[in-house]
Amino acid sequence: MTATLATPLAEPVNDWARLAAKARSRRRTTNVLLYGFLALGALPILVPYLWLFTVAMSGRTGASTTVLWRTLAVLIPALFIWSMLRLGMEPGRRLRLIEIGLAIVAVALLVVLTGPYLHLDNWRFLWNPDIADALKGVSGIGAKFPSVWTAFWNSLFLAFVQMTIVVTVATLAGYYLSRFDFPGRSGYMKGLLVLHAFPAMTLIIPIFLIIYWIGLLDTLAGVILVIAALELPFAIFVMKGFFDAVPWDIEMSAMTDGASRRQAFRLVVLPQVRIGMLAIGIFAFLRGWEEYVFVRTLLLQKQNWTMSLYLFWMREDVMGTDYAMVSAMGVFYVLPSILLYAFTQKYLTQMTIGGIKG
């Protein structure tokens, strides 16, 4: 009995280290499980992109599947080892060196295992518009394909002009809705919401007829107007939210400082909503860049093809589709979007759609 009483209830102080180690290992286990789960969830999203890329780089040699599996066989263990290193080691010079070593090994393995199968043959559409000749069949569109660069510039033009219209109109309309009261304002706001919720596909026949009657069928201008009109309701709503967040004081101050309303808008208010303009601009650009349904409906001539139409005809129009080239075209098509996101995601994540006041 005396022995048990002599033992203190609290653990001795030198066990703090053990407790800290326990907390560390628990934190580490949580991290491993969390990252493992997230990685698993990301796999179905990332593998198709990887597949697209490997097929584009190695297709039509009969080895594209081999390349995909070998790439995965290198990448997945490498990523696994890397995350284990990150979780298991303290950050420092040693970890950095091991990481660099791991990267070199992984790249070397990739080169050795898949290098012999890689080629740029599928990308020939970039410099040789006469792709149909190289294919097994004969072009069904009855003539040579246009250069992919025609489609590229068309898409770029469409996306850019559409973006300019959307940003300009949405900014002005958002400001007006945010600052001015006018009869029917709340009805207008509700209308915007309904328009945004309205499925645009159901409008496709009336839109075709309208565009035909006003003589814009088979012109890029027609498509630009249609897409801009469909993009505007949401963009206006976003911009109104941004303007709502700019305090009145600043504008009043500018006006007592001697600025006209327009000068106050340009010099003081507009710089506060740059992020919003950037955001709706990027979304509008991507919408124009990726547009398929309306360009398919409203554009007929080859000279007016956009990237999506080019991709469509490349797949559709030849007997025996060259999937490797379609994949290469797909990579070429998606690249600008990815670059745009990569450079602007910093700003896009700052975007919150401001409080919606009546």
Partner 1 sequence: MAVIELNGVTKRWGDVVAVEPTDLRIENGEFVAILGPSGCGKSTTLFMLAGIYAPSAGQIRFDGAVVNEVEARDRNVGIVFQSYALYPNMTARANIHFPLRFKSVRPEEAARRVEAMAALVQVGELLDRRPSEMSGGQQQRVALARALVKEPGLLLLDEPLSNLDASLRLTMRGEIRRLQRRLGVTTILVTHDQIEATTMADRIICMSKGRIEQIGTADALYHHPDSVFVAGFIGSPPINLISGDAANGGLRVGEVGLPFVGAAPGKVTLGIRPEAVRLGEAGHAARIGDLEPHGRETIYHLDTPFGPLRALEAGAVARFRVGDQVKIDVERALVFDAGGRRLGDTIPPRPA
Q: Which residues bind partner 1 (CB under 8 A)?
A: 247, 249-250, 252-260, 263, 267-268, 271-272
**Min dist. Cβ of residue 268 to partner 1 (A):** 5
CB nearer to partner 1: give 8 or 258: 258
Q: Terminal CA-to-CA distance of the chain, rounded, Å?
A: 77
Residue 272 or residue 321: which is nearer to partner 1 going by CB?
272
268 vs 351 by CB, closer to partner 1: 268
Closest residue by Cα to residue 221 from 304, 150, 286, 309: 304
Least separation in angstroms between CB 132 and partner 1: 54
DSSP-assigned letter for residue 266: I
Q: What span, in angstroms and rounded, lies between the C-alpha atoms of 222 and 311?
A: 21
Contact 353, 238 (CB under 8 A): yes
What's the min distance (Å) between Cβ of 267 and partner 1? 8
φ, ψ (nearest 5 deg) of residue 90: -70, 140
C-alpha closest to that of 265 among 181, 355, 171, 357: 171
DSSP 272-285: GGHHHHHHHHHHHH
Q: How far is the CB of 223 from partner 1 (least distance, A)?
A: 36
Q: Which token pair is 303?
A: 């000279």
123 vs 243 by CB, closer to partner 1: 243
Q: Which of residues 25 and 263 has its CB atom nearest to partner 1 in the complex?
A: 263
What distance in Å separates the CA atoms of residue 224 and residue 230, rounded to the nearest whole number?
Answer: 10
- Closest to partner 1 by CB, 24 or 274: 274
Q: Which of 244, 250, 242, 233 is nearest to 277 (CA)?
A: 242
CB of 349 to partner 1, least distance (A): 19
For the CB of residue 245, give the shortest distance to partner 1 in the complex, in Å.
12
Residue in the block written with tokens 């990726």: 290
Assign 215 to helix, strand or coil: coil
Could you tell me the smallest distance in angstroms from the CB atom of residue 238 to partner 1? 20
Least distance to partner 1, CB of residue 23, Å: 38
Contact 152/358 with Cβ under 8 angstroms? no
DSSP-assigned states of every residue in 55-88: HHHHTTTT-HHHHHHHHHHHHHHHHHHHHHHHHH
**Closer Cβ to partner 1, 4 or 256, answer by number:** 256
Cβ proximity to partner 1: between 18 and 266 the closer is 266
